[in-house]
Structure 1
Amino acid sequence: EQGADSVQAAAAIAQSGAQVLKNEGNYLLVGADEAQLTAVANVLDVAWVENFTLHEKHNEYGAGNIIGATVANNSGYDGSTQIAAVADTGLGDGTPAGAHPDLAGRVQNIFDWTTGNAQFCYRVRKDGPQDADSGHGTHVAVSVAGDGGINGEGKGAAYAAGLVFQAVEEYLDIYGACTSPTTPDGYYLIGIPDDLHQLFQQAYSAGARVHSNSWGSAAAGDYTLDSANTDDFIRTHPDMVITFSAGNEGTDANANGVVDNDSIGSPATAKNVITVGASENDRQGNYNCDSSLTYQSHDAYQPSTTCSGMGGQNLLGTYGSRWPSDYPANPLANDPTAGNAEQMASFSSRGPTDDGRIKPDVVAPGTWVLSGYSSLFQEGYGDPVNPQNNSYQLDGWGMPANVSYKYFGGTSMSNPIAAGAATVVRDFYQKAYGHNASAALTKATLINSAVDLLDENNDGANDNDYPIPNVHEGWGRINLAGATAGNAQFVDEASGIGTGGSATYQYSVNTAGSALKVSLVWSDSASTETAAANLVNDLDLVVTAPNGTTVYRGNVFSGGWTQTGGSADRVNNVENVYVQAAATGTWTVQVSGFNVPSGPQPFALVVNGAFGSGNATPTPTNTPVPPTATNTPVPPTATATNTPVGPTA
């Protein structure tokens, strides 16, 4: 913890017989058996002990038209006012010029997060910021900000944004205390610092205001030190949007044909991040591979065959055929891995978090996503093998489409699509209102405009068995067209409210029976790993109908819509009121501070409904500076010079 003496702590730990493998200031990597662990935990300067896990890429197991990016792009919202950051394996050949053709001229920095050896644990073989093994980082970066310049394929939503890249992968020789059957020698995301403040601060200082992270550790819904550090960074840097993939731990362990709950990874369990799950992709049957490649596919589902042998199209397979031990029973077992944009991907980690919070927040397509192919060690294109592991770069899912693009799947792929969408939302607020949107406002906008999936439980029927909010999709699939339509009113309250304080806003609805959607989001103070409930500052959302007596509270949902009655939410820092058929007249929206021990607490509101031109201007009751960004949007000054082509993934 802050103020602790790490040298003194290391000495005391060594006296217990445990091995201090690495000292990084406030964080120690220790090798200990069960008996020694108790002694380590009792050392005076030790505040917390948790299991050491190597962060993993979430790709084991797009999307422009599906998430509405093409519509937003056609309106001039393309990320051109923004810089996005990606922390991942590496980028192309490790130089801005050699990143990927679809990123040409927009890679502003590539930072190499290398690390030293850990005695009795691992030795590092450094190879710089290149993307040599899986091609994961290049694929992710192009999904965020690729411009589709080669042939229009793999285009990201934020195709005009600048990019900052942080390369965090190195090859490790594992030995000693870290030897395990599950951790062989190989590439790991070992450059990710123990204190994530350092990672985020570097990107923030370089101008990035959206940070994409397609990695994490299996935490089964637990709030960890990484979660707390991430929450703290967003709380203290309120305009920094951080997205995390939910994880790929969605399985059917009890073989009942239903994906099990409680598998969200860390840091995706953080409160203030946008946690992104994976829905299915639908490429309208186009999963082409490069027929000029003569080697046999390495994909387990399409063995002993070449691309030509498959007729130039990758074989999708079912979840059961690809991962039989994870999905042994129908309907999951015989469900194709793509083709229904209304369906969740089976592997996507499910909520809730251990303290009951709704996660994921939103979902985006994450199966058979076509995006950038790193130029290094490509099989079949004349490259040598990687000297580190004597292997070619991973093909991804199936076989590559061509020398520039390949397929991948996982929440690793849905997350950058969401990060690109968040970048476009910030671009929208900047262009339409001249407003630097907070992380809370960006998150509220994406949630408020999201659409409810129809097959969230993977039963093979688009029957909406589990309307939003639910543990599968959270609040729904991202709808960037809706997020940037300019129909919603918003408040981005920086001064905040304290315990007992309130802010009241009024909105005039002029069409009877229309929907009214109100979203409240705040970036909460960090919690602790030992807390039973992780919400620190508790705000309440109450929406009152024009009659003055019909009251709706945040997160009291049934059938996908808010119901009257119920009690205030004491768990989430996202609260929604969605009224299915709103009466005409003036609606009152109140945000109040129920318990704000670490205040005042800033917040963001997004309100979408059938508003008339005479809509009442929101007026807070006790905030020193009334929100000004609530007027009719000004059309963006940037206009598309041609019709943008959306991502083909």
Structure 2
Amino acid sequence: MERQKDASFPTLELDAPPLMINGYMGDPLKNCPAGFFGIIEDRRGRDVFETNLYLIQFSERFGPDVKNTLESMNMKVHAYYPMFTFLVEDTQGRSLNTLRANIPQKIRWMGKYYPEYRYPRGLLTTTQQLDTEKNPYYLLLTSPLPGTYEDIYIQEMPDGLYMAKYNLYPHELKEIIALPNMLYVHASVPLQIMNNQARGIMESSFYWNERYRTPHIIPMPDEEPDLVLEYMEGAKVTFAVSDTGLDSGDVDGFVSEEFRRYTVDPEADFPHLREVGTRVLSIFDIAGDDDRSDVHGHGTHCAGSILANAYHTGLYGDLFLNRLIWGGFAGSAPEGNLIFLAASHNHREDLPPGNLHGLDINLPASLLHPDNDIVDIYSHSWGSVDPFLGYGGYCSVARFFDTVLWNDVGADGNPRKLVFQAAGNDGQDRNLDGIINRDSLSTTATAKNIVTVGASENSRPLYPENPFYTRYKDMDVESFPSNPIHDDNIANDPRGLAAFSSRGPTQDFRIKPDIVAPGTNVVSVLSSDADLPHFFDRGGAYNEVYTIMSGTSMATPLAAGAAGVLKEYTSDRIRRPLAQIPSYALKAILLTATEEMYPGQYDEDQYPDIDMEKPEYGPGDPVPLNPDYPFRPRKEIPFVAPNTDEGWGRLNVN
């Protein structure tokens, strides 16, 4: 079958690059975004808006020398915006013309950072008529606001800026946007969990390691390598999960055997196991209710997908090999260690089950907590969409991730940690042609320094007693109205993508998701504090120990666990501590440890007869990215990887 290159991305004319900032995209030489403020002019028509914040757009791509030049001129570089644009603060009060004359690099445009650039379109339009109640907003500031405004939290960031969350009346919102210390304001949308034979599909439990009999790097022509099956299970890796809660929530009391540590005991009866402690290092309560338990079940399931040891389905000690053997429903790193941040408030009737109240009131805790220094990999199975930025927009949460991860460096100066973030479950067939449309990526999944994870199909079409969500039409008939998706089983073909998995790209045309991993009918640990009738009534409980869920929530921890095993293997192979494996290097290795899924699971004759003149996007959707290529081929995954459906492909670390 002919492999088609993705032709849907626009070819940007580099002599006229757009500016993309807070939902605005346009040529700053031709227009300034229209808003509530307008350019403040005196009677002679002169611009008298006072600010020391400027946008500088360069004529072409640039390297570190440009930033170094600006900083040497006593300017603070606060942000980069596509394309080729820095947001800077002049600390010496110089005029625009003076600054322009002293920057040696070729500048295409330079202008004041007007209030209209600081908020997404529609934010003030929606709120201006409703001045009776406060709403939460994310703010990025050069200094905190005066105490007259109600703050939820204020976090000083590693780059010296302040990420804050405030409760504001609409009239207060308009007041602060033009303040000299204001960089931007975004809506705060409640964060939500993203759940709607994975380990074997990813092949994360072992690697074929080539060991040569003589200590040279390249084998001699007459020498064949010895292939040794080398098991890596993540014993050196520490994962952090922020989610609803973890099992009973008591590290020192009862936490499922799936999270405990065992060793081989030749003196014990089969399965020859001896418990030697827990692998749960700590559980933090960030919701403020002094309750770390998981009454919903989502957090325990996600943690189990990383490091469950299959105690109830096949863990045993092999006396001949003197090692543990994992089977059944083991996670992708069944010897890994866990730090958990319990975010659900379990005792407020105004909050729904599975809420993430702790993250809504204290997002910085997701990465900045007392045990942060020992964490290698974070797994986040939650997110949201900022309605004013729209799908694929770069939101405050994404910027928070990028800032913290880029500045959290080790002794060698390299970033150390990697975040795995769920892409979202908003995939839809909007125009009834049996093909999932693009542009459904959660705004929280657009960060640059993370790994965004979409969901592929698992290989578990049916399971005992309750075929929960067997077909896509059972999940959401409105989102999947046409075949071949409508009647398809959600977990019968690992070659296919989960229809609900959010597709990219980002609004600045970056490829997301980065990878996909199995996310349908995933079996993992059932919380002992979860409402069992709740699970059995909806058909989601496998038995009293395990439960079944679907979503990019489930794909994300599986990918995170596999990446932890890969990091451990890399550390062992190059003989460096885990902390000396840079996060960007691990991400690069991970993107190559993928299996391309093009063209997907469906044949062309399975699609409905459709009008090929009908564009991909339905009424009200964004126009196609490339006007010369408005149609997608009749394939589940129309283009060869990397693409905005599967990213670089399905994770396969073998």
Which TM-score band applies after superposition, normalised by the shorter structure? Answer: 0.5 to 0.7
Answer whether contact 2:457 2:519 (CA < 8 A) is retained.
Answer: yes
For residue 463 of structure 1, report the CA deviation from its aligned partner.
8.2
Letter of the 2:248 partner, please give it: D
Residue 201 of structure 1 aligns to a residue whose secondary structure is: coil
Letter of the 2:463 partner, please give it: Y
Correspondence for 1:270: 447
Q: 1:69 aligns with which of 179, 182, 204?
A: 204
Answer whether contact 1:85 1:163 (CA < 8 A) is retained.
Answer: yes
Q: Distance in 2 between matches of 1:103 and 1:329?
A: 42
For residue 157 of structure 1, report the CA deviation from its aligned partner.
1.5
- Equivalences for 1:207-222 in 2 at 5 Å? 207-219=374-386, 220-222=391-393
The reply to whether residue 101 of structure 1 matches residue 257 of structure 2 is yes
Q: Distance in 2 between matches of 1:58 and 1:463?
A: 22
Q: Distance in 2 between matches of 1:396 and 1:425?
A: 38
Correspondence for 2:366: 199
Q: Distance in 1 between matches of 2:426 and 2:636?
A: 24
Letter of the 2:559 partner, please give it: A
Structure number with greater CO (CA < 8 Å, separation at least 6) is 1
For residue 345 of structure 1, report the CA deviation from its aligned partner.
0.2
Correspondence for 2:25: none
Letter of the 1:87 partner, please give it: S
Answer whether contact 1:337 1:345 (CA < 8 A) is retained.
Answer: yes
Residue 47 of structure 1 aligns to a residue whose secondary structure is: strand
Residue 425 of structure 1 aligns to a residue whose secondary structure is: helix
Answer whether contact 1:58 1:412 (CA < 8 A) is retained.
Answer: yes
Answer whether contact 1:93 1:99 (CA < 8 A) is retained.
Answer: yes
Q: Distance in 1 between matches of 2:186 and 2:637?
A: 39
- Equivalences for 1:553-592 in 2 at 5 Å? none
Pick closer, same or farther for the CA change 1:409–1:396 going to 2, 3 Å: farther
Residue 242 of structure 1 aligns to a residue whose secondary structure is: strand
Q: Distance in 2 between matches of 1:344 and 1:250?
A: 10
Q: Distance in 2 between matches of 1:55 and 1:205?
A: 21
Pick closer, same or farther for the CA change 1:48–1:3 going to 2, 3 Å: closer
- Equivalences for 1:215-614 in 2 at 5 Å? 215-219=382-386, 220-237=391-408, 238-283=415-460, 285-288=461-464, 312-314=465-467, 316-379=469-532, 393-395=534-536, 398-435=539-576, 436=578, 437-456=581-600, 465-481=638-654
Letter of the 1:4 partner, please give it: S
Q: 2:237 aligns with which of 82, 91, 102?
A: 82
Q: Distance in 2 between matches of 1:366 and 1:31?
A: 38
- Equivalences for 1:110-149 in 2 at 5 Å? 110-115=283-288, 126=289, 128-132=291-295, 134-149=296-311
Aligned residues: 415
Q: Which consecutive unaligned segments of at least 5 residues does structure 2 have?
A: 1-139, 156-161, 209-228, 261-277, 315-327, 409-414, 607-634
Q: Distance in 2 between matches of 1:479 and 1:234?
A: 25
For residue 72 of structure 1, report the CA deviation from its aligned partner.
3.5
Correspondence for 1:545: none
For residue 255 of structure 1, report the CA deviation from its aligned partner.
2.5
For residue 56 of structure 1, report the CA deviation from its aligned partner.
0.3
Correspondence for 1:188: 355
- Equivalences for 1:41-56 in 2 at 5 Å? 41-56=177-192
Q: Which consecutive unaligned segments of at least 5 residues does structure 1 have?
A: 14-19, 116-125, 176-183, 289-311, 380-391, 482-649
Q: Distance in 2 between matches of 1:84 and 1:109?
A: 11
Letter of the 1:449 partner, please give it: A
Q: 2:194 aligns with which of 58, 67, 71?
A: 58
Letter of the 1:210 partner, please give it: I
Residue 64 of structure 1 aligns to a residue whose secondary structure is: helix
For residue 263 of structure 1, report the CA deviation from its aligned partner.
1.5
Correspondence for 1:169: 344
Pick closer, same or farther for the CA change 1:213–1:185 going to 2, 3 Å: closer
Residue 95 of structure 1 aligns to a residue whose secondary structure is: coil
Q: Which moved more, 1:352-361 or 1:245-254?
A: 245-254
For residue 314 of structure 1, report the CA deviation from its aligned partner.
1.9
The RMSD of aligned alpha carbons is 2.6
Pick closer, same or farther for the CA change 1:232–1:378 going to 2, 3 Å: same
Answer whether contact 1:223 1:266 (CA < 8 A) is retained.
Answer: yes
Answer whether contact 1:172 1:185 (CA < 8 A) is retained.
Answer: no
Q: Distance in 2 between matches of 1:244 and 1:396?
A: 30
For residue 188 of structure 1, report the CA deviation from its aligned partner.
1.6
Q: Distance in 1 between matches of 2:470 and 2:438?
A: 24
For residue 397 of structure 1, report the CA deviation from its aligned partner.
6.5
The reply to whether residue 22 of structure 1 matches residue 152 of structure 2 is yes
Letter of the 1:130 partner, please give it: S
The reply to whether residue 5 of structure 1 matches residue 160 of structure 2 is no
Residue 4 of structure 1 aligns to a residue whose secondary structure is: coil
TM-score (norm 2): 0.60
Q: Residue deviations 1:296-335, cap 9 Å, x none?
A: xxxxxxxxxxxxxxxx352543212320111112222122
Letter of the 1:448 partner, please give it: T
Residue 432 of structure 2 aligns to a residue whose secondary structure is: coil
TM-score (norm 1): 0.60
Q: Distance in 2 between matches of 1:174 and 1:332?
A: 38
Q: What is the percentage of aligned positions where both structures have the same residue? A: 30
Letter of the 1:228 partner, please give it: R
Q: Distance in 2 between matches of 1:470 and 1:446?
A: 16
Q: Residue deviations 1:247-298, cap 9 Å, x none?
A: 1111122333221211211321000101100000003x5512xxxxxxxxxx
Letter of the 2:593 partner, please give it: S
Answer whether contact 2:359 2:365 (CA < 8 A) is retained.
Answer: no
Q: Distance in 1 between matches of 2:537 and 2:152?
A: 34
Residue 22 of structure 1 aligns to a residue whose secondary structure is: strand
Residue 50 of structure 1 aligns to a residue whose secondary structure is: strand
Letter of the 2:396 partner, please give it: L
Letter of the 1:29 partner, please give it: Y
Answer whether contact 2:291 2:346 (CA < 8 A) is retained.
Answer: no
For residue 67 of structure 1, report the CA deviation from its aligned partner.
0.5
Letter of the 1:202 partner, please give it: H
Answer whether contact 2:205 2:233 (CA < 8 A) is retained.
Answer: no
Pick closer, same or farther for the CA change 1:110–1:200 going to 2, 3 Å: same
Q: Distance in 1 between matches of 2:507 and 2:426?
A: 15
